[in-house]
Amino acid sequence: MTKEQIAAIFERVKTWPEDRQEEAVEMLLAFEAMGSGPVVLSASERAGVERGLDDLRNRRFASQEAIADLFRRHKS
């Protein structure tokens, strides 16, 4: 990606609704922080990771039908 492409997307972001702009900023800040050292999880984030790992260990996965239904319901 070139500097021109980055500048262009930032210009388009300025036209987005404010809530989308805030999400974009949060994602960019998180992405930037990833390279600056270890990630420190909150207690709720750690609990979520533990739940996910427990689901993985116990082979609890969403069915293909459930995933397809999710995409159908949230299709833009």
Residues 33 and 3 in one domain: yes
Residues 55 and 72 in one domain: yes
23-28-30-35 Cα dihedral, nearest 10 degrees? 170
| Parent domain of 62 | 41-76
Residues 23 and 53 in one domain: no
Residues 1 and 35 in one domain: yes
Count of structural domains within the chain = 2
Residue from 45, 67, 48 nearest 56 by CA: 48
Q: What is the pTM of this model?
A: 0.45
Q: What b-and-e string marks burial along 44-64, b requiring 16 or more CB atoms within 10 Å of the CB?
A: eeeeeeeeeeeeeeeeeeeee
Residues 2 and 35 in one domain: yes
Model pLDDT for residues 50-65, shown as the tens digit of each residue: 999 999 999 999 999 9
For residue 61, which phi and psi values (nearest 5 degrees)?
-125, 155
Residues 34 and 50 in one domain: no
What percent of the chain clears pLDDT 70, i.e. is strictly above it?
99
Three-state DSSP class for 14? coil
